[in-house]
Amino acid sequence: MTTNSLRSLHHHQYSFLKRLSTSESTLPPPSSLFLKPSSSTSTTNTLSSSSTTTFSLSSTTSSTTSTTSQPISFDTLQHHLSTQNFRQADEETRSLLIVLAGEAAQKRGYVFFSEVQFISEADLKAIDDLWKQYSNKKFGYSVQKRLWQKVNKDFTKFFLKVGWMKKLDTEVEQYNYRAFPNEFVWELNDETPEGHLPLTNALRGTQLLNCILSHPAFEGQEQEQEQEQEAEPEGVKGNLRDGPKPLSDRFFKPDYSF
């Protein structure tokens, strides 16, 4: 009697331990709560699949491959322009061009003339439209392009026209670049030269400004702007066209570091 009871007890214990062992083998390892499969491997049976599957750490956040993949916002530029803060709007425009020109320009901190081609027509036109909208069409790249074409793309005459150069108080007629930022005009009034803003750095030459004004974004606007353009005063025309001395003799060394 006692022997049968002991055998029965051992039998129940063995069955319980066997069920417990089977249930534990089917549970995932604790580390699988934080890992996810990175690849799948075909197996011949379910018992060996857990030993042939590899895992990698799962990420809780997603990241973008580059900053330029995110949409560019013009809200800050619009805010500065709408509040007539043209000094900050000019800085924001320069920052936008750096971002739009690509990763190399962002690392460098300024735009090469050869990188202007990477700026889309839509983005460059959006910047120009905001400048024209909040300046009563007095500022903007397309405005500058029209004035540049009016002087046959002569940059010296263009700088005089938009007020980036000033006449010196000397006996001999001479001009020099304005000092940045104090000698530039940051208000919109009747005395502000047309096309005065936004500024473009010409310290390394005029190729950057040339590429901006020649960008496809501003093609086809010449006829429309020509109709809106008023006739220039005769005095201005005479000052730009007439000059008894070569331009190289009438200008000091430029300080055009904006």
pLDDT in tens, the chain (258 residues): 544 554 554 555 555 444 444 444 444 444 333 333 344 444 434 333 444 333 333 333 333 333 445 678 999 999 999 999 999 999 999 999 999 999 999 999 999 999 999 999 999 999 999 999 999 999 999 999 999 999 999 999 999 999 999 888 998 888 888 999 999 999 999 999 999 999 998 867 899 999 999 999 999 765 555 555 555 455 444 443 344 444 444 444 444 333
pLDDT score recorded for residue 24: 44
Other beta carbons within 10 Å of 89? 27
pLDDT score recorded for residue 201: 84
Region for residue 51 given its phi and psi (left: phi exceeds 0; alpha: psi -120 to 50; beta: otherwise): alpha
Is there a contact between 215 and 121 (Cβ–Cβ < 8 Å)? yes
User: CA–CA separation, 83 vs 188, rounded Å?
Assistant: 11
pLDDT score recorded for residue 31: 37
Nearest to 162 by CA among 199, 201, 196: 196
User: CA–CA separation, 64 vs 43, rounded Å?
Assistant: 36
Long-range CB pairs of 60-69, under 8 A, 24+ apart, other chains included: 66/103, 67/99, 67/103, 67/106, 68/99, 68/102, 68/103
pLDDT score recorded for residue 141: 98
- Reduced to 3 states (helix: H, G, I; strand: E, B; else coil), residue 235 is helix
pLDDT score recorded for residue 78: 98
pLDDT score recorded for residue 202: 81
Full-model pTM: 0.63
pLDDT score recorded for residue 16: 46
